[in-house]
Amino acid sequence: MNWIQNRCDQEMYCLTSGILRLQLDLSWQPLWLTTLNQNVFTPDVWRARTLTKEIQAESDIIESSPLITQDLLGDDQAPNKILLITSEGEPAKVLRTLASSFLSMSTATFSKPNYLEIVPIGVDKAKALVKLANSLGLELSQVAALGDGQNDMEMLREAGLGIAMGNASDAVKSAADWITGTNDEDGVAQAVRRLVSSGLI
């Protein structure tokens, strides 16, 4: 895995070989941890070992399919995200423990209660929003952002107008300026209509 470390020395967005070894080598973990669905993302490819119902649901949402392979580190691109998925309920509690164990080497945050996202330290949606705004010649005060997950909280605080979806947790809603409808209620469309009617866009 020397190629991973070499790429990480050059590209700050990638995960280090240490965190990859810790997460991808399940031999040291209790048997119940092997029920975790491991997903590894590079800029070009999403890799998973099996197509579980949870991974299929994610695939349907984002309209993209993973490459099913036993080799999660299959090319010379340094991974920039690991996504751990469990079934909902009791199995998801283990993700809280895992998140704490990864904090010294990465940023671990939740997009759903059973989705743990592991990314390089210093990477979050707020920083991406700043970069996007700069590229468009906008001040953050001119930007609205919508989100519903824990991994959206920094972005909602950073944006000029943070809008939480109605299905978001109370913690996410507390980070926002507005609360719109849920995903099932077309909350994004509701937010856009409110922005237009308020003369903000």
pLDDT(125) > 80? yes
Q: Which amino acid is at 72?
A: L
Q: Residue 74 and residue 72: Cα distance in Å, rounded?
A: 6
The DSSP code sequence of the chain is -HHHHHHHHH-TTSPPHHHHHHHH-GGGS-GGGGG-EEEEE-SS-EEESS--HHHHHHHHHHT---EE-S-SS-SSSPP-EEEEE--SSGGGHHHHHHHHHHTTTSEEEEEETTEEEEE-TT--HHHHHHHHHHHTT--GGG-EEEE-SGGGHHHHHHSSEEEE-TTS-HHHHHT-SEE---GGGTHHHHHHHHHHHTT--
Average pLDDT (169-177) is 95
The domains found in the chain, sorted by start residue, are 2-119 (3.30.1240.10), 125-197 (3.40.50.1000)
Quick: pLDDT tens for 47-96. Answer: 998 999 889 998 998 899 999 998 887 666 678 888 988 887 776 777 88
- State the pLDDT at residue 92: 74
Average pLDDT of the chain is: 82
Among 65-69, 95-99, 116-120, 190-194, name the one with the lowest average pLDDT. 95-99
pLDDT(11) > 50? no
Average pLDDT (168-180) is 96
**Is 182 exposed, middle or buried (CB count within 10 Å of its CB: 0-12, 13-18, 19+)?**
middle
Band of pLDDT at residue 30, cut at 50, 70 and 90 = low
pLDDT(106) > 90? no
